[in-house]
Every structure is written in structure tokens, then in C-alpha cells.
Amino acid sequence: MSTRSIRVGSGTVIAFGVLITLIVLLCLGQFVGWDPTWRSLDVTPLQPPFFDMRVVTDYAACAAKGFDAYIPHSCNPANSNIPPIWLWLGFFGIDGSHSTWLSVGIITAALGVMVALLKGRSAADGALALVAILSPAVMMGVERGNLDLLILALVGAAALTYQEQRAGRTSWAGVIIGLAIVLKLFLMFCVAVGVRRFNWRTFTFVSGVAVFSLAYLAAISEYIPLIRRNVPTTFMLSYGYKTPFLGLDRMRTEAGLSALALADTWVPITAAILTLLLAAAIALIIFRYGRFFCMVTNDVAGTAFLFGSGIYCGTFLSGTNFIYRLMFLLLCLPQFQDWQKRRSIDKERKIEGSLYATVLSALWLNGNSNGHSTFLLVPQLIDWLLFFGLAAGLVSNFLNAWKQAAS
């Protein structure tokens, strides 16, 4: 009698690992409570549970009653900083009492899409992906029931759908991205997919995303200043080009020194621009020698990588973001894992492996500060290095596409 071996793949490892984590969290929650449970995962918790979702539902319920949801603290201790479409939930009877099941729904959707993106790989790949998924940055979004989880599910679904060779699939991917843009405007950075190849369908997709983003921005222009005013700007548990300068002021204040107040000057944006120029210069120099790096494949993994890279670089340039937004780096994992399957040990593979390690470091080190401001130094350097590396990779792909189009 022959026995068939059971192959354990990446999807199984991720699903099983998340299930075990869920059981442990539920048990800990019963015995020690919400806050200690999440602090054990290096996540800074907020009350009430699923705080970010509670903010959305509270303001939606208030808007349905005629209140101005963009007046600070009008319906919740936190401010409303989301596009007005989310307030429509109130007209369907959604209020704070629905926060838990809404949070569970978007968490499940995000996990399901990530398993679909990462399936078909080895158990070791699944274990590394599980490490990334259970990182403090991602779990902070889970603890808060943050809306970015739904956006992650939509962008991942668009990557699974997108296929340049088929107009129908490309169109549906555009529809999904359009929906995501309506829900969170920063999804316009998915136009980064255009650096992979120059052809009519890619141009149509990228142009459609760009035009739709600008039109939507114009349609809600009266809300943009209100949303920006209500978005917290802080160095704590944040990433972005302004964050290190805000953290520097905090550390100087703790040391009894006066703040330099550089965050709102020309210095941070100049540093970001110089970093972009250096990334482009490095990619161009390597291109002059006939070499490329971080060349994405023309498949789901490549599309997801470009979406994730574009979102990270774009949000990094927006100033500051809470670290749960680093969850979009999970979209880069399938391509990193495919790159590491190469048998040859070359410089490109080492670059890609180093960038993979930088992504994992960013997800894990941007965690609970435990009350110490100096924790910012290492993760902020890593965040900046990741911005440089992903930007250089996008430029390298653009140069390769340009070379292929010109030949």
C-alpha cells in the first residue's frame, strides 16, 4: 500500500499560524484583558477595542443625525480624518455597536487575500510571510480595526485580477483600484505599475487611475483641508520623511534643549528629494553598465510588488503615517520570495535579499517604544533606507521598460 505524502505549503503555514495566534490572543484576552494581551505582541493598544473602527462608526452615526463630522471631537475623542463616503454608513444604521463585527470582517478579508497572494510557495516562505504578518506594525492595524486592512484586501484583489494580456481582467483591476481610491485617496500611488512595461493597456490603466484620482480629489476638495487638519502629525509610532525631524525635537526637549523645529521647514523635503535623486542616479549608473536589479515579473507577484512599493514611497513622501500603513509592504513579499528562488548567487540577488531583510526589519522595529524616544533612531534609518531602495528599484524597472520599448 502506497502512502501519499502531504505537502505543506505557504498558504497552510500562514493559515495555521494565524489560527494558533488567534486562539492564544482569545485565551490571553479572557485571563489578562485586552491591553496586556496586545502589549505582549509589542502593540500599543487603545480603548475601546478596535478603536479606529469605532471612530468611523461613531462619526457615521453622528453624520446621519445631521452633525458635522469634521468638527474636532464632535462625536468621538479622536477626530474624523476619512473621506466623506465613509459617513454614508450611518444612513444604513451603522453605529459604534457594529465596530467589532466590521473589524473582524476586514481582518478576515485582508488575511484571505494575503493567503491567496502567497500560496503555492514553500513552507519556509510561508513561515517568513507569517513573521511579517504577525509583526507589530501589521498587528497594530488589526488591534485598532483600521480601515487600511480593507484597502489592503482591495489592492491585493486588484493584483490577483490584473493581467495586461487580457483587457477584461485589466479593466476589472482598474475598477477595484478605483473603489480603493474612493475609500482612501493614497491608493493613487498604484500607478507605479506603469514602470514595468510600456504598452497601450498599461498606459490606459495608469492613465485611468491618474485621471480618476485627480477627478476624485477635485470632487472632495472642500474636505481635503478638514481631513488634513484632523490627521495627527506625530513622531510616535510613525514613518515618513518628516518623522525623524519630529522625533529629534522630542529627544531634545527630553534632554532639556530647545526644539530645532525643522519638520516644517525646507530641510525634510529637501532631504527626501535628494534621496530620490540619489536612488535614480544609482539605478542609472547600474543601467549604464547594462545591469538591472529588482526586475519584477509580469505576473501577480510583480504587480503586487509594484503596488506595494508605490504605496510605501508615496505615503513616505506624504509626511507622516502611523506604522500600521506599513502593512502594504506585505504586497511585496511574493516577489521577494520568487527572487530568492534563483539558483545563481549574483549581485542582483544580494540586493534583492537585502531589501527583503529591510522590509522585515521595518515591519518589526517600528513597534512599541516602551516610553523611550530614542527607539526612533534605528527604525527611522531603516524606513529611510527602504524608501531609497524601493525608489531605486522602481527607477531600475522604468529604465528596463524604456530600453525594451526603444529596441
pLDDT tens digits, 264-295: 899 999 999 999 999 999 999 988 888 888 88
- pLDDT tens digits for 232-265? 877 788 899 998 888 888 777 877 888 888 888 9
Residue 119 forms part of a structural domain: yes
Residue 123 forms part of a structural domain: yes
Q: Give the mean model confidence (pLDDT) for residues 42-64.
A: 91
pLDDT value for 29: 84
In this structure, the number of other CB atoms found within 10 A of the CB of residue 254 comes to 11
Q: CA 309, 315, 318, 323: dihedral to nearest 10 degrees?
A: -130
Residue 3 forms part of a structural domain: no
Q: Which residue range forms the structural domain that includes residue 255?
A: 10-406
In this structure, the number of other CB atoms found within 10 A of the CB of residue 344 comes to 6
For the chain, the straight-line distance linking the first and the last C-alpha, in angstroms and rounded, comes to 58
Residue 2 forms part of a structural domain: no
Write down the pTM of the prediction.
0.93
The 3-state DSSP class for residue 198 equals coil
pLDDT value for 181: 95
Residue 4 forms part of a structural domain: no
Residue 199 forms part of a structural domain: yes
Residue 143 forms part of a structural domain: yes
Q: Name the domain count of the chain.
A: 1
| Separation CA 363–CA 382 (nearest Å) | 10
Any idea which of 5-9, 41-45, 108-112 has the lowest mean pLDDT? 5-9
Closest Cα partner for 102 from 45, 47, 55, 162? 55
| Separation CA 179–CA 109 (nearest Å) | 15
371 or 177, greater pLDDT: 177
Residue 1 forms part of a structural domain: no
- pLDDT tens digits for 372-382? 455 567 888 89
Whether the CB-CB separation of 142 and 22 falls below 8 Å is answered with: no
Is the per-residue pLDDT at 1 higher than 50? no
Closest Cα partner for 377 from 233, 256, 232, 235? 235
